[in-house]
Every structure is written in C-alpha cells, then in structure tokens.
Amino acid sequence: MFRLLILAGLLVLPNGVRAAAACPPAALGTSRVLAVDAASTPRVGRKHFAATLSLQPKEVVLTFDDGPWPGTTPAVLAALRSECVKATFFVLGRNAIDHPEILRRELAEGHTVGHHTWSHPLLGRMAQSAAEAEIERGIAAVDRVLYGESGTAPVTPFFRFPGFASSPALLARRHIVVFGADLWASDWNPISPDAELRLVLHRLEQARGGIVLLHDTKRRTAAMLPAFLRTLKTRGFRVVHVVAAGQPSTR
C-alpha cells in the first residue's frame, strides 16, 4: 500500500519522485478540503436525496463517473492538473483492472477515488444478493489495484449507484457515503462540447454550486473541461475537494 504525503511543500509520489506542490496564481485551484463521514452524511445530492454536502454558495464538487478510460481520462486529468483542481472519480471495477496505470495516476495526482460497481448494472433491478456481489466485486477490484488489498470494505467509503438506481437495503449495514448529485452536464447525450459547457454553466448558476456529475469516459466532456474550469474561476466559483473523514488530502 502506498500513501501520498506533502512534505515541505513537495508532493511525494509513490515512486519517491517529488514534484512541486505550488499552484500558479492564475489557476483555479482547490479552495478547501471537506472531510465527509457516513455517520453524519450518509446520503448526499439533492437530485436524489433530501440533503447534500455542507457547501457555501458558489462552491463546487467535481465528480466523474465510469472510468478510467484510456481515450479520455488522461485528458481529464491533464485539465485538472493544469488548474490545480482535485476531483472525485467513481470508478468501475472492470475498468480499474483493464487500465490500472490510469487509476493509479488519479490517486497519485491527489484525487479521491470512490466506487461505482464492477460493470455498471442498474442495481435496483437486481436481486439483492446479486447486487451486493456486484458492489463488492467492484470495490475489491479498485482497492486491489490501488492498495494491494482484496477485501470488500472500501479504503475510501464513497459510492455512487449506476443510473442512481439505489435500493435502501443495499449498503444499509456499511459505513459508506452514497453520492447522488446536485446537477449534471447531461454528457451522456450527443451534444457538442460547447453545448455541454453552456448547459452545465447555466445549471451551476441556477443552483449556485453543488455536486456536479460528469463522465471522464466522454470525449465531449474531456474537450470542454479546460474551458469549464477557466470559466469557473472567472465567474467566482470555488472547487471543494471531498475526502473520507480520517484520510489525508494532497491539496
């Protein structure tokens, strides 16, 4: 298992290489770190649940689903790195196994890695035993790639249901934060990057911030992300990095 450390302003990567942790003045940056615990915040995202994260007006939490994917996730990571922004990736177990180097890069660059099942079925339509097995297989795959562990208790206890098809019985006995979203970019639709940019900015202005759902598997999202991050800064939005309570951040 490896851990990321900040020592004397340097980011210590898993292979021992040190990189400067300073952020250029013109970059958007990450404004603060928010530790989230399932005991106090078990379900978040007003599109699906009654409550959301404790965010101030114009604070944004960036989340990406379904990766890692070689054709798009590296570009997403590059855009985030260029603006010194930390995000949360809800990862599929099968993609973690197929593309372990990209998943390890997400963690090495300071992002939070959560869970999104093994293969993205709609769990609410499955028998409970099959749904639980799908969740556990995905968690074990991701954590095995990142930490060399094969247990079913996630190192980072964040989970998002595919298609938001949640079932109250699933995860009921687990100490896991279930993420919905406050708004999304609708990037599953065949729209241009410019149209996606206009849409998500409009929704952010209406909501005054919140948990934003994007997909790092979509080329349109990877293409629009640099402009999106620059516009967040010019419009006064601030990015919040969520981590599990008790775990360090590499902000």
Q: Point out the residues that are catalytic.
A: 65, 215
Strands 59-65 and 238-244: parallel
CA proximity to 89, closest of 247, 192, 241, 249 = 241
Phi then psi for residue 8, to 5 deg, are 50, 40
Output the CA–CA distances (angstroms, integers) from residue 187 to 103, 191, 214, 233, in the order listed: 21, 7, 7, 21
Spell out the alpha helix ranges (H) of the chain.
73-82, 93-98, 100-108, 128-147, 193-207, 219-234
Q: 79: left (phi > 0), else alpha (psi -120 to 50), else beta?
A: alpha
